[in-house]
Amino acid sequence: MGNTTASLTADKSTTLFPKLKGQSLSYWLQGVRANPLLDHRTTENLPESADVVIIGSGMTGALTALTLLSSPNPPSSILMLEARELCSGATGRNAGHCKPDQWRGYTKHKGRVGKEQALKILANEQETFEKLVEYVRANTVDCDLWVGKTMDVAMTEEVAAQCAENFNQLREDGGKIDGVEWIQDREEARKRSRIPNAISAFSWDAASFYPWKVVAHMIERCLSFGNDRFNLQTWTTVKSVEPADDDLQMNSEDGRKWVVETDRGSTATDTVVFATNAYTAGLLSEFEGVIVPTPHLCDKVIPPPSFSGSHSLQNTYGILLPNDALFSINSRSSSDGIVLFGGSNPGISQFLKWVDEHPDERTNDGLSGIGSVTNAVKEFIDTGSGWSTQGWNLDAGPGQGPDYQWSGIMAITSDRLPMVGRVPGKDGLWICSAHNGHGMARIFTAAPGLVKLMQGGKWTDTGLPDCFQLTSERLERLKKRVAPPGQ
């Protein structure tokens, strides 16, 4: 399996920062090692109380905090707790895509939640994409934003037929398809995609960007409200969230309902937001087996001269292969041109089988050097894509080719949908998690939707698909349909 532990430690100061299980450093985390937000602590000690405690500093936590603070009725104080570096979870470990699903997942969603909700899911992803791009442009966020055409490319006749069936069903059901171009002519698909072995392709608008920098921009805006309003504490692990005992409620000047216990002390609060994604079950036992942590891997590849400069790839891709295998490719064409390979590539099954046999590794994002996954990337470049006929030679020389691999933990549910809303039976506890590896195309509507609920709104006020709502009925249903590992 190759090396499955990273030698890196997160040990800036052995007295201030504890040595934790080594984490792999993603491409995004590697590029911000001098940013002081990584280990920011607004105050030396935790505040004794706060109106709202947000657990998690990824895009969900950051956008929830900023939306609350910017609202007409903001809380007087927010405490954000992060176990490690700022944005070092899934947001800081993905492949940098905001690729709204406009057709591919339709039939699967329809099979799980019905036609109406499936159509709403696709519409929501388009809205999320537009809101993220709008935020970056309106605030001039320096995050390598690229907006252009993404392409899903079918690589076999069988896959092309499945794609056609899916797309036609979406069209027959009245889905909005005017933004998606279906390229059925094989030669045209190969020309447009620059993949000589393509069978057919689909093209529509998407974005790639530097997700860590978007989160950092939101956190800086939150900090600008002042230390009394927003307090960020990195390297602070939450150990438990428990109801406050009667003595604490009577003695506390504002009678807080919950106590958030960390490795650095405790904070009393009335409201807790779990922006914890794959790590939710570690604090809320009712989500054990419902939100399943599932490691995935991303490979950084340096393209040769024949795919650089004016010859660099100008699209992002979903490479569609048999058995639902997928390469997600972000070519970063408007920035450094480095190509990032993620997704459930053909080599991932061997790795996930190993994870299934070692369940303690499900939340280990220090995994790296998994040969079966990198070898699948190499095989695609060398033979599967046809790029070798265009001059992509894996043996071109030092500094080119597969460079580094990192891991991230996805939160998988059996219905493949996020969980947004009140934690059933626990007044004051809220959740926006379980993004199923698709958070960049969901969070920019899901987090603001959660804030509307927290401030007294109804579900219809959120504008989110009904199937995203966490209810006691949905939770019980998911407990009976545990997701298969890695699916």
Q: Shortest CA distance to 342 belongs to which of 316, 364, 363, 361?
A: 316
358 contacts 364 by C-beta, under 8 angstroms: no
Q: Is 429:272 a contact under the CB 8 Å cutoff?
A: yes
Beta bridge partners of 342: 328
DSSP 304-347: -GGGSGGGS--SEEEEE-GGG-EEEEE--TTTT--EEEESS-TT
Q: Which residues pair with 430 in a beta bridge?
A: 273, 422
* Residues in CB range of 320: below 8 A, 6 or more apart: 104, 152, 153, 154, 155, 159, 163, 326
Which run of H or E residues covers position 411?
strand 401-412
DSSP assigned state of 255:
-
**Residues in the chain, how many?**
487
SS3 182: strand
pLDDT confidence of residue 187: 98
Instruction: From 356, 61, 60, 417, select the one nearest 233 (Cα to Cα).
Output: 61
- Residue 287 has what pLDDT? 97
Q: How far apart are CA 154 and CA 54, in angstroms?
A: 41
**Phi, psi (5° rounding) for residue 49?**
-150, 160
DSSP 482: P
Sign of CA dihedral 88, 90, 93, 95: negative
CB 187 within 8 A of CB 199: no
Q: Phi, psi at residue 441, to the nearest 5°?
A: -100, 15
CA separation for the pair 214, 211 (Å, rounded): 5
Question: Mind listing the pLDDT tens digit of every residue in the chain (487 residues)?
Answer: 333 333 223 333 333 433 345 789 999 999 999 999 999 999 999 999 999 999 999 999 999 999 999 999 999 999 999 999 999 999 999 999 999 999 999 999 999 999 999 999 999 999 999 999 999 999 999 999 999 999 999 999 999 999 999 999 999 999 999 999 999 999 999 999 999 999 999 999 999 999 999 999 999 999 999 999 999 999 999 999 999 986 555 444 457 999 999 999 999 999 999 999 999 999 999 999 999 999 999 999 999 999 999 999 999 999 999 999 999 999 999 999 999 999 999 999 999 999 999 999 999 999 999 999 999 999 999 999 999 999 998 877 788 999 999 999 999 999 999 999 999 999 999 999 999 999 999 999 999 999 999 999 999 999 999 999 999 999 999 998 744 444 4
pLDDT of residue 158: 98
* Total Cβ atoms within 10 A of residue 282: 18
What are the distances in angstroms from CA 205 to CA 120, 236, 262, 482?
18, 39, 43, 34
pLDDT (0 to 100) of residue 397: 79
How many CA atoms lie within 13 Å of 10's alpha carbon, on the beta-carbon side?
24
Identify the pLDDT of residue 250. Answer: 45
Burial class (CB in 10 A: 0-12, 13-18, 19+), 184: middle
Its pTM stands at: 0.93
Q: Which two tokens stand for residue 416?
A: 């493949």
Rounded to 5 degrees, what angle do the CA atoms 451, 456, 461 make?
A: 70
